[in-house]
Structure 1
């Protein structure tokens, strides 16, 4: 294996988003979550409407699109109006 192909396989993880930023975990069918922090090689994401955090590999996480952001905010407000989220 050439030195160039070894370097190509080693990718730096993407920079972590700001705490609380909305992101999409592409390994979970495009599930939208709120970035909560880093532990080891994983990023912790929290469901927008509350619930248990999950681990995601940084290479499977991308920023939300404007449409995904609006949908996530609407879902959270609907859950809040039902009393499911504070």
Structure 2
């Protein structure tokens, strides 16, 4: 994430972030105009979030999101 003090952070595409408006976690898909585009872990409809409402996901939140993605991909090959 980048940003100066007092400015909203701009998350890097592919990273996980939290929409502070409702607590949803999403993988950053990019930008949609001034907004950050987020995708739920494991798929689903994307949503737009204003940059001032985005914060980086904590390591525990990232771990839970990654587990969700892996579970939705199905069983791992043997």
Name the TM-score class by shorter chain.
0.7 to 0.9
Contiguous gaps of at least 5 residues in structure 2: 1-5
Shift of 1:20: 0.7
- Partner in structure 2 of residue 53 of structure 1: 46
* More helix by percentage: 1
1:66 to 59, 62, 68: 59
Structure index of larger Rg: 1
In structure 1, what is the Cα distance between the partners aligned to 2:25 and 2:39? 9
Higher relative contact order (CA 8 A, sep 6+): 2
Q: Which 4+ residue blocks in structure 1 deviate beyond 2 angstroms?
A: none
Secondary structure, counterpart of 2:21 in structure 1: helix
- How large is the Cα RMSD of the aligned pairs? 1.5
Contiguous gaps of at least 5 residues in structure 1: 1-10
Secondary structure, counterpart of 1:50 in structure 2: coil
Secondary structure, counterpart of 1:62 in structure 2: strand
- Partner in structure 2 of residue 22 of structure 1: 16
TM-score in terms of structure 2 length? 0.79
Secondary structure, counterpart of 1:68 in structure 2: helix
